[in-house]
């Protein structure tokens, strides 16, 4: 059974039904400056539904920039601050960001290791993504294994269909949410035009080839020349939906010791500085090489997929136009026809 929700008004109705579910928290894109960020909304009028992408990724919904982990009082008693969130919907993420969440699932809750803080938020969250009709010039999701209509990571995928959207339940969670809103869903899914959207994206690099070349290129002198202009500002990491480095800091609040984790980035000088004073990645080129190696080699080894979903945010954010796609081409060649 298919329910084609037509145009913006239908998205509004869908959001209204989500907001009407008792106890439901809804996150959606809201305007900030010239762009959009994902934030909690209490009415549909706050949501920004016509936007090409989101300036900030929704990563902070699952891994807050600063997160209290535990506290310890004067008596030495330790209390963990594992969250107990109610049900929530993340509405309107693009398929690349949903895929980034599927990646974060592998990092924080894959295999035999589970981060209870992440798990608690993730279990409570249902993801409703909005397929892309027209990728931005900086998008390259198809290079990294995704696509403008990729369902990976989504619970419900709203696929462009004519002037509207067809609703595709990707998971049981998505089906349950669709039932709760009374929205009918496709039983088989799949937009027949999916293959043509984004077919022109670049770089046309084979990720397996890129990984192999990177694994053999640790000492390649091109790292110095290609990345010399990097300022080490970290913008590329903080705007990335799949970066996940953090630091642990201890502080004090009203006589109570509080341990928190905060976002960090391997692009910062001293990120790897050791107590002895030795820093194994002393230059910007060393740090950018690590960024590339981590995303396109180590993550594939550890998690079975690259740590980049091709959202293009870092391409737009870098103040010196250091474009990760050019590095991919330099080391991966033009391996696809
Ligand atoms: S590395 Fe850049 S393009 Fe890849 S997911 Fe992160 S921000 Fe997006
Ligand atoms: S945004 Fe650009 S300059 Fe800043 S750390 Fe990343 S690559 Fe370097």
Last residue of a domain, one of 196, 215, 234: 196
What are the two backbone dihedrals, phi and then psi, of residue 248, each rounded to the nearest 5 degrees? -110, 125
The owner of tokens 């035009």 is 193
76-85 pLDDT, tens digit each? 999 999 999 9
Last residue of a domain, one of 176, 196, 216: 196
Closest alpha carbon to 56 in 41, 34, 25? 34
Distance CA 216, CA 28 (A): 42
Confidence of residue 5 (pLDDT cuts 50, 70, 90): low
Between 220 and 198, residue with greater pLDDT? 220
Q: Is the pLDDT of residue 166 over 90?
A: no
Minimum CA distance residue for ligand 1 atom 6: 240
> 296 and 165, same structural domain?
no
**Ligand nearest to the Cα of 235, by number:** 2
**pLDDT above 90 as % of the chain:** 77
Task: Give 55's strand partners.
Answer: none
Minimum CA distance residue for ligand 1 atom 7: 240
E strand or H helix at 205, and its extent? Answer: none
Distance CA 148, CA 139 (A): 9
Distance CA 301, CA 240 (A): 20
User: What pLDDT score does 194 carry?
Assistant: 55
Domain ranges, residue 176:
4-196
148 found inside a domain: yes
> 148 and 13, same structural domain?
yes
For residue 324, how far is its CA from the centre of ligand 2 (angstroms)? 10
Determine the atom of ligand 2 nearest the C-alpha atom of 232.
5
> 192 and 54, same structural domain?
yes
> 234 and 100, same structural domain?
no
Distance CA 296, CA 331 (A): 11
258 found inside a domain: yes
> 138 and 31, same structural domain?
yes
> 311 and 263, same structural domain?
yes
Q: What is the tally of structural domains in the chain? A: 2
> 36 and 148, same structural domain?
yes
For residue 97, how far is its CA from the centre of ligand 2 (angstroms)? 21
Q: By mean pLDDT, which of 47-56, 188-197, 235-244 is the weakest?
A: 188-197
174-192 pLDDT, tens digit each? 999 999 998 766 544 445 5
- Could you tell me the end-to-end alpha-carbon distance of the chain, in angstroms, rounded to an integer? 38
């Amino acid at each position: 059974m298919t329910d084609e929700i037509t145009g913006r008004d239908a998205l509004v109705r869908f959001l209204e039904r989500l907001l009407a579910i008792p106890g439901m928290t809804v996150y959606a894109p809201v305007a900030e400056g010239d762009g959009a960020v994902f934030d909690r909304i209490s009415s549909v009028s706050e949501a920004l539904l016509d936007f090409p992408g989101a300036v900030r990724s929704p990563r902070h919904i699952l891994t807050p920039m600063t997160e209290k982990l535990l506290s310890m009082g004067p008596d030495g008693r330790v209390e963990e601050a594992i969250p107990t969130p109610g049900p929530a919907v993340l509405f309107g993420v693009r398929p690349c960001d949903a895929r980034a969440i599927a990646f974060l699932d592998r990092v924080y809750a894959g295999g035999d290791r589970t981060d209870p803080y992440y798990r608690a938020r993730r279990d409570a969250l249902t993801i409703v993504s909005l397929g892309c009709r027209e990728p931005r010039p900086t998008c390259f999701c198809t290079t990294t294994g995704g696509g403008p209509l990729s369902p990976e990571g989504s619970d419900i995928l709203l696929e462009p269909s004519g002037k509207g959207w067809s609703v595709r339940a990707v998971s049981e969670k998505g089906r349950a949410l669709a039932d709760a809103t009374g929205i009918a869903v496709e039983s088989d899914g799949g937009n027949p035009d999916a293959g043509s959207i984004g077919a022109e994206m670049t770089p046309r690099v084979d990720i397996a080839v890129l990984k192999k070349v990177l694994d053999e290129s640790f000492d390649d002198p091109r790292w110095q020349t290609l990345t010399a202009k990097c300022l080490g500002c970290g913008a590329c990491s903080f705007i990335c939906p799949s970066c996940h480095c953090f630091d642990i800091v201890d502080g004090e609040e009203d006589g109570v010791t509080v341990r928190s984790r905060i976002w960090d980035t391997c692009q910062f000088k001293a990120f790897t500085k050791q107590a002895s004073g030795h820093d194994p990645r002393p230059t910007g080129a060393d740090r950018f090489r690590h960024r590339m190696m981590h995303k396109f080699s180590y993550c594939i080894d550890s998690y079975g997929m690259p740590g980049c979903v091709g959202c293009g945010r870092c391409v737009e954010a870098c103040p010196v136009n250091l474009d990760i796609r050019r590095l991919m081409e330099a080391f991966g060649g033009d391996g696809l026809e």
